[in-house]
A and B are shown apart, each in its own frame.
Chain A
């Protein structure tokens, strides 16, 4: 904790949904849900209009549809989100060289770095933050951000949460404990429903209650590392520095299943699909890796990792899949697997492709999609041993979780739509298209060989809807406007 409030946390409001509403004028002011639209999909982001109906991130899409049947359900446009994110991160880097992005839509900024002459009194900070928020809205054509400023990462993040939506909250140094005390324990980043439930059984509801639990009791309940860190955070003790450009040492994807899986073929399908997601993320970050790691958690929470090192670095999902399924074949899965993860490490800047990888190795997409409960983890590379509780694959997990919620539901920062949806057939709901005659628009719906397009952009008013044959030659996938 610092004596001055020099940690800024910026969080874009309902980011994916807000980008959709920006680019689709007919959806402005209406409930919008971005996420997995398949039978077992989960919600990535709900607009504030949808949240009024009780729709939340990480909720099953089926439940969201039941609560809010009239919302627009979209499968997400990552290129558009990335483009908007780049603009926002660029603005933050103008304030300070020390910017730590946590995902596409949030970042910490160290205001003590860089400009020595900066005015760090409360009025100066407020003016700075309001300028940033105004610039973000202007440069992104209307996206809103909430900003928290405090003396530590913990408080800055809590402050931006308190500021939501479209607000600013500065925690005056010295008042940190007063701010924390009345909050629910779940306000502490990393405390998910499982930990909250365990604490509730001890009679702990608020951070003030948590402060009353002594360290030995907390570590016996939550494990040594997690218990100790929570004990400190409850007291506002958070000395984590803002770290820019953390070097990525590994990159991984993992899922906890709704129910334990025993069928090795299903597990192989899941591992193959995860390998494809790892590959997409490697390519998105311009990286490759040489060591493939498979992580398995058995029904009794016993967790193992196995890894294999390739002859040359790869970013090819088929090579990763072949290696991961090979590792999986050596593991007895008959008693049930609750979590599976695929990751790569030994990062490199170059790829040595294989002469003999063919598309025959490509996964059966339909099969995988139906069987996987996707947890929608962050799209950013997971930096090794990051301070936010999301370590690399072989992590010492924060503690066994129970219940059917995806693991990442604990983490309030993960709002990425399932990657499984990115390789869907061409006319995914919400996708950008261009018609030779009618211009730019987006897929309103498709099926039965037809596709319905609404012709509007962020610069037009709500536009008309027209229906075409799905293979109409004048209809092409659209491009992203930054």
Chain B
């Protein structure tokens, strides 16, 4: 194996592929990054039996072949190389990396021990990579972080015709994000639950613009697989990850309730006020919001301890309501919204409240992202 390649293209591709490599692999070869040179370019791949990553980059290939080297080390080296073309070649059991007057020699790992990467699923469609990254960042806000309930650490992806729905919940709050995509077949229908962290990393890594191809394969045996593929200036990137199995809670129906009270508040003002007021909220205590004519009063703390209050301007339609929220749940939802104001709808103080972004007080909320929180209440 022998090739010459652009330094930035190599560094980007290695960094992207090595990103998902395990830091403490169960088998040593899984810490490796496979480098293959073929006619006209190279392919880099990594795999940890959950997530696979494969990227291709254009290169001047003098000699075809492949080698397995430490992914972390190669990524660190490429990141710090000077801005000159890089020559990579195999020399016996060593891989040599030469760039300008820098010279590295890396130990190889046995290629034959490396597992076969799963194939990219075929049934697919495309979506704007930027739209998808935004949508995922919003949906994952409500995903569980407790590994005891592993399924809830996932995001449920529903593909139905030209609509993608992303749903997440940790049992106390829930999110529903909808966006459109272009399926190859107009009657496409599939679902997948993907670990939120993995999905988030993948979506963020494809934001260089352009289209993202997404494909779902339901597993005949064992868990199904979801694959993503996008292109860069100098090649392609493809990643697959295993789905989580189990019956995901019925999140969508939670959003059906009719509101009795609707409130509009400036989003950034509300974030800042919740942050301030919650400074005195002890663990397990809420920020209490009282919505009445033209304002919302935020309160936290109790008479025995520190207390805080703040009043914000708000437009309130319907009955006055007092509701308590875990301040973290409230902030995490508000922070992923993009509109200048937030639309809050309530039925009763003990029932879930739904938040959505809105351009102006009194406007029509953007229902493509809705975030629902179960309020806290006094016992009894």
Contacts and interface: CB of A to CB of B under 8 A. Distances in A.
Contact of B380 (A286, A348, A353, A354): A286
A355 B285 contact: no
Contact of A349 (B146, B250, B285): B285
A352 B374 contact: yes
Interface string A335-362: 0000000000000111111111000000
Highest count of chain B CB atoms <10 Å: which of A282, A287, A290, A349: A349
A311 B146 contact: yes
Contact of B379 (A283, A290, A311, A354): A283
B172 A354 contact: yes
Given A311-B170, A311-B172, A355-B172, A348 B378 contact: no
A288 B326 contact: no
Contacts of B172: 311-312, 352-355
Contacts of B169: 355-356
B350 interface: yes
Interface string A277-300: 000001111111010000000000
Contacts of B103: none
Contact of B249 (A285, A290, A350, A356): A356
B378 A350 contact: yes
Interface in B331-380: 350, 352, 372, 374-380
A281 to B, nearest CB: 11
B254 interface: yes
Contact of A355 (B171, B377, B378, B380): B171
A277 to B, nearest CB: 15
Contacts of A288: 379
Contact of B171 (A313, A350, A356): A356
A432 interface: no
Interface in B256-315: 284-286, 302
A282 B379 CA distance: 8
Interface in A247-297: 282-288, 290
A375 interface: no
B284 A312 contact: yes
A349 B303 CA distance: 13
Contacts of B254: 355
Contacts of B285: 348-350
Given A290-B284, A311-B170, A311-B172, A352 B326 contact: yes
A353 to B, nearest CB: 5
A413 to B, nearest CB: 25
A287 B173 CA distance: 22
B247 to A, nearest CB: 11
Contacts of A286: 378-380
A13 interface: no
Interface residues of B, number: 26
Nearest to B350: A353
B227 interface: no
A168 B101 CA distance: 103
Contacts, number: 69
A315 interface: yes
A313 B146 CA distance: 16
B174 interface: yes
Nearest to A316: B379
B324 interface: yes
A354 B171 contact: yes
Contacts of B378: 286, 349-351
B375 to A, nearest CB: 8
A287 B379 CA distance: 6
Nearest to A285: B379
Interface in B48-98: none
A288 B172 CA distance: 16
Nearest to A354: B171
Nearest to B174: A355
Contact of B326 (A283, A284, A312, A349): A312
Contacts of B376: 312, 350-353
A283 B374 contact: no
Nearest to B149: A311
B284 A350 contact: yes
Interface in B227-242: none
Nearest to B352: A355
A354 B254 CA distance: 12
B380 A313 contact: no
Contacts of A352: 172, 284, 326, 374, 376
Nearest to B251: A355
B95 to A, nearest CB: 47
Contacts of A282: 379
A313 B379 CA distance: 10
Nearest to A353: B374
A350 B284 CA distance: 7
A268 B44 CA distance: 53
A136 to B, nearest CB: 28
A349 B284 CA distance: 8
Nearest to B302: A349
A283 B377 CA distance: 12
B303 to A, nearest CB: 11
A356 B172 CA distance: 8
Closest 5 CB pairs between A and B?
Answer: A315-B379, A348-B284, A283-B380, A288-B379, A350-B376
Given A349-B284, A356-B171, A356-B249, 5 more contacts: A286-B380, A290-B284, A312-B326, A354-B172, A355-B172
13 contacts: A286-B378, A287-B379, A290-B284, A313-B284, A348-B285, A350-B286, A350-B379, A353-B374, A353-B376, A353-B377, A354-B171, A354-B374, A355-B374
Interface of A: 282-288, 290, 311-313, 315, 348-356
